[in-house]
Amino acid sequence: MHLGIKYPDIWAGLAPIAPAAYGNRDDLKKIKHIPIVMIQGDRDTLVPVKLARAWSAKMREYKLDHRYIEVKGGDHVRVAFEYMPHIFQFLDRKQRKAAGKN
């Protein structure tokens, strides 16, 4: 999330997995043109699921093109391997948009 927000003009899509995103969620306004798929396990002991839920809620509020996948029983690492095909499927259906072209 940090790199996507910091450099919003170089990404065709973002796929944060168990994102330790502690920045300002209002910064999502800078990446409204970037599709995002976010994966989070609800049993992650390194990144609290409530953090990902808060980011997902803000994405909905700003009407970002996103998909939030919360994995029941998922931990911090295994969700990345199990849900990699979902990430590629999501991103394959998207086309890059220029910033400010929404």
Has residue 101 been placed in a domain?
A: no
Whole-model pTM: value is: 0.85
Number of domains in the chain: 1
pLDDT reported for residue 96: 60
pLDDT reported for residue 52: 95
Distance CA 57, CA 87 (A): 19
Please give the span between the terminal C-alpha atoms of the chain, in angstroms, as a whole number.
20
Has residue 100 been placed in a domain?
A: no
Enclosing domain of residue 46: 2-22+29-68+79-92
Has residue 52 been placed in a domain?
A: yes
Q: State pLDDT tens for residues 23-41.
A: 999 999 999 999 999 999 9
Has residue 57 been placed in a domain?
A: yes
Has residue 10 been placed in a domain?
A: yes
Has residue 8 been placed in a domain?
A: yes
H helices present in the chain, as ranges: 2-6, 49-61, 78-82, 84-92
